[in-house]
Homo-oligomer: A and B are copies of this chain.
Amino acid sequence: MEERRLQILGAIVEDYVATREPVGSKSLLDRHDLGVSAATVRNDMSLLEEEGLITQPHTSAGRVPTDKGYRAFVDHVAAVKPLSSPEKRAIRSFLDDAGDLDDLLTRTVRLLAQLTQQVALVQYPAVRQARVRHVELVKVADALLLVVLITESGQVDQRTIPLVAGRGPEYDTDFFADLRARLNQAVVGREVTALDSPLGDLLARTPPGNQDAVREVVGALQSLAQNRTEDRIIMAGAANLARSAVDFPIQVEPLLDILEEQLVLLRLLGSMQAEPGAVEVRIGQEIHDNALAQTSVVGAGYRDGSHLAILGPTRMDYVTGISTVQALARYVSRFLA
């Protein structure tokens, strides 16, 4: 009986996701063979309603799952449906072609959006503990210096800084070669979060006449190092959002705002379970954000502490969502190991 009620809940969720219309006892029986009559289904439905799992938009309409209903569905009914092996193969071959990290993440996020037909998000891997691998200085134009910071995790960040005009001749190639050697000696192997003191020392040991230029370079490096510790998100499938909203009362506008903001998303992803491969689902109100009250997030950790996720209307296909997110998270983790 308990069993059957959940089965009915599952059928309601499934039909509602498919048709986007409140589902009634009769049409439910048309699509699912439950082995009982419509009247019985009706009785169970009113029990489900008492429990707050489904609700009626108005008397004499069908039922619609509530957030709590989706939650129960995800927790007790939905079974993870492993991807078919052609799917797996397709994913593998598509991702294996990836050149570097950026490429891999871009491909992943696109694939995720395409497979789930939702908005896909991939958090850039957290690299807080990255160590410096190499610092490079390149004089680009007469008065421009390019500062490049390369970490052991293989990330490269650069910044162009202007050199004080009129001082050009003083800073010749040798000067920069020397500075580069000293910089590398000072910071290579150190955590990017712990560059302030070695850089300060280096600056202190610089002859006063050259301090201006060195100070510029040191400042750029510090700002690069800080940038490095900031998280970023890449996104794909924003158009899917509009698609779900077409015949459905979702306000797309504030959602697009949020997607562009990134800040809320970062906080959201950051608050999710970090265990690699573990999928977590947040439904509607469970995300404590007004603009996201009508949406759900299915996320999973990958590597250490980073996340990938999909975001869509609470009325989304959780089964394929969960499977796909899980599969891709596992795949990316493995790829990066």
Contact = CB atoms under 8 A, between A and B. Distances in A.
A239 interface: yes
A211 interface: no
Given A138-B134, A160-B101, A239 B260 contact: yes
B146 A154 contact: yes
Interface string A141-164: 100101010101110101111000
A91 interface: no
A156 B152 contact: no
A260 B242 contact: no
A206 interface: no
Contacts of A242: 242, 252-253, 256
Interface in A210-259: 220, 223, 236-239, 241-243, 246, 252-254, 256-257, 259
Contacts of A254: 239
B246 A253 contact: yes
Given A99-B223, A260-B236, A134 B133 contact: no
B146 A99 contact: no
A178 interface: no
B253 A100 contact: no
Chain A to chain B: the 7 pairs with minimum beta-carbon distance, closest first = A239-B256, A140-B154, A242-B253, A156-B158, A100-B160, A239-B257, A100-B159
